[in-house]
Structure 1
Amino acid sequence: MNRGLLSALRTPAGTAAAVVLLVVAVLALFGPVLAPYPPNQQDATAVLQGPSAAHWLGTDYVGRDVLSRILAGSTLSILTAVEAVGIGLLLGVLPGITSVYFGRAYEWLTLRLMDGLLALPFMIFAIAVAALLGNGLHQAMLAVGILLAPGFYRITRSASLNFTNTQYATAAELFGSTTLRTIRVHIWGKIVPVIVVATANAIGGALLIVASLTFLGIGVQPPEPTWGGMLASDLGYLYQRPYGPLIPSLLIMATVGALNWLADAIRDTSGDRGRARIAAAGADDRFAVFRYRRSAETPGAPHSGASSRPEKEVVDVQHRG
């Protein structure tokens, strides 16, 4: 998987996505430290000001520095999305891979449970859980994580079914390998690329859900800064600051787009098709490469006038272990 990730990062889309996500990660980890002002500090003499040397992105409707609030809000916006995906991974991947091995009753029970969760609407369920457990972003992310679990379950289960009856898994069981050992040694490494792709896409979706909830004022207590909350507050002052919603919107769009680019790059460079493509490009010589060539005409044979049919040639590349 490490080699597959490195190969994905070498692609143009993967490189661009890595640069954007690195910037976003720095904002999420060090945003509050980098903020030039306290994010909730108000200045009644500097209300709705434009960009200046003192306030690079201007001030909002109560005189707070917009740049400081964006930097401080990055942590809450990004980490809560990761929190929701982590909950979905825990509740979806483990039941998904074990449902293939733990018998018909367990399989039926998990399938029906995930089908029930799949029928619940994201936003309404998150609002209901936040109302029951308190208007906190972590409560809302618990609800979002629960609703992300069916997607991870389906993806993991489908990928696991492809490797359940393979010869190496069957041989391991015949030689006395336990079910958990077979999953850990022979199945898990095969399905990790699929889970990584799903995780990257899910983080992008979770970030949009976080932005939507905070835009509606759900899950966050004002004046706590978040990208979605800043977007909502700036929309009320478009006449004074028409560019106000631009920065939060661009940050959300760039982060979600970079996650999708990274997911596409990993998908294109992982698995059998991806490894064959890498080998053909000379980046990895561990696998067989399929290529087409036109058959040479036999010397002395009459020319038929039609183009010769392509023949598939398999080039066995030496495995360097």
Structure 2
Amino acid sequence: MQKRKAKYSFFMMLGIMIIGIIGPWIAPHDPTKTYYEAFMQGPSAEFWLGTDAIGRDILSRLLHGTRVTLTVAVMASAMTFVAGTLIGVTSAYLGGIFDNVMMRIMDVLLALPGIVLALAIVAALGPSQENAMIAIGIASIPGFAILVRGAALTVKGSGYVEASRSIGSSNWWIIINQMIPNISNVLIVYTTMFIGGAILGTSALGFIGLGAQPPTPEWGTMLSEGKDYLREAWWLATFPGLAITIVVFTVYMLGDTLRDIFDPKS
């Protein structure tokens, strides 16, 4: 069962990534072009998923939006990974006052819901795709750092770390070459799970108009544009909502599978 779930989640994620790469080339229409004769037209032979309120093809916008959403989510997760790993591992290794100060700062930031912190950052920087990426990345650092610190504490007292200390290796050398590689399995799982959260965060910021700005096709923005036409044109919000649901579900399923694989108790 575990192998089957791993295979399905891997191939689903691979397919989503391929769509993100080739989506703009396989889109049947220009995602920003207005078809004046097809305002809010339902799914048809020409427009497979229908058109929006100003006559743009939904399918083409979804395909282009896959790259936009995944790019923001992956870049934000990369930022979280680098900063959160360094903070968590360094705090665990050095301990003492540094650890107490850093973890109290992380606790204070973690007390704020991630989306609220991201909203504050975007409000300060201004709404854009790049600023949404920065905001989501920064907002995810506290939780990631605390999780990484817990994993790093389990290897801090290991024999290879003590041996490196005894021969005079520098703290940074031990952190980079001893501690981080030995918690890499945990880092892979945590990063995968955080990508799912980043996709939701990207869509949430786009939904309230603080992410990628029109006419850039982005799933959260498309969902926001369709919410006012749920009765008249169900397809406007349904297909972007399904896209977000499927991708986030796939990412979390992949992360859950990786956790089972890397869990020593399994």
Normalising by structure 1, report the TM-score: 0.77
Structure 1: state its 5+ residue gaps: 1-7, 275-321
- In the other structure, the counterpart of 1:53 is 45
- In the other structure, the counterpart of 1:138 is 130
Q: 1-side partners of 2:178 and 2:121: how far apart? A: 39
Instruction: Encode CA deviations 1:109-161: one digit per residue, 9 max, x unaligned.
Output: 21122122112232333223222212112212212211211111111111111
Instruction: Encode CA deviations 1:207-249: one digit per residue, 9 max, x unaligned.
Output: 1111111111112222221111111212222233223322211
- In the other structure, the counterpart of 1:124 is 116
- In the other structure, the counterpart of 2:142 is 150
Q: 2-side partners of 1:194 and 1:63: how far apart? A: 46
- In the other structure, the counterpart of 1:34 is 26
Change (3 A) 1:123 1:266: closer
- In the other structure, the counterpart of 2:78 is 86
Instruction: Tell me if the contact between 2:121 and 2:135 (Cα under 8 Å) persists in the aligned partners.
Output: yes
Q: Which amino acid aligns with 1:144?
A: I
Instruction: Tell me if the contact between 2:203 and 2:219 (Cα under 8 Å) persists in the aligned partners.
Output: yes
Q: Report SS of the residue matched to 2:92.
A: coil
Q: 2-side partners of 1:216 and 1:78: how far apart? A: 18
Instruction: Encode CA deviations 1:232-280: one digit per residue, 9 max, x unaligned.
Output: 2122222332233222112111111111111111111114334xxxxxx
Instruction: Encode CA deviations 1:186-214: one digit per residue, 9 max, x unaligned.
Output: 32222111111111111111111111111
- Higher helix proportion: 2
- For residues 6-45 of structure 1, the aligned pairs below 5 Å read 11-45=3-37
Structure 2: state its 5+ residue gaps: none
Q: Which amino acid aligns with 2:190?
A: A
Query: Are 1:226 and 2:218 matched, yes or no?
Result: yes
Change (3 A) 1:270 1:125: closer
Q: Which amino acid aligns with 2:148?
A: T
Percent identity of paired positions between Structure 1 and Structure 2: 36
Q: Which amino acid aligns with 1:19?
A: F
Greater relative CO, 1 or 2 (CA 8 Å, sep 6+) = 2
Query: Are 1:75 and 2:70 matched, yes or no?
Result: no
Query: Are 1:261 and 2:257 matched, yes or no?
Result: no
Structure label with greater radius of gyration: 1
Number of equivalent positions: 266
Q: Report SS of the residue matched to 2:236.
A: coil
Give the RMSD, CA atoms, in angstroms: 1.9
Instruction: Encode CA deviations 1:158-189: one digit per residue, 9 max, x unaligned.
Output: 11111111223222322333333333343222
Q: Which amino acid aligns with 1:186?
A: Q
Instruction: Tell me if the contact between 1:120 and 1:147 (Cα under 8 Å) persists in the aligned partners.
Output: no
- Equivalent of 1:238 in 223, 230, 239: 230
Q: 1-side partners of 2:199 and 2:120: how far apart? A: 19
Change (3 A) 1:169 1:75: same
- In the other structure, the counterpart of 1:102 is 94
Instruction: Encode CA deviations 1:266-317: one digit per residue, 9 max, x unaligned.
Output: 111114334xxxxxxxxxxxxxxxxxxxxxxxxxxxxxxxxxxxxxxxxxxx
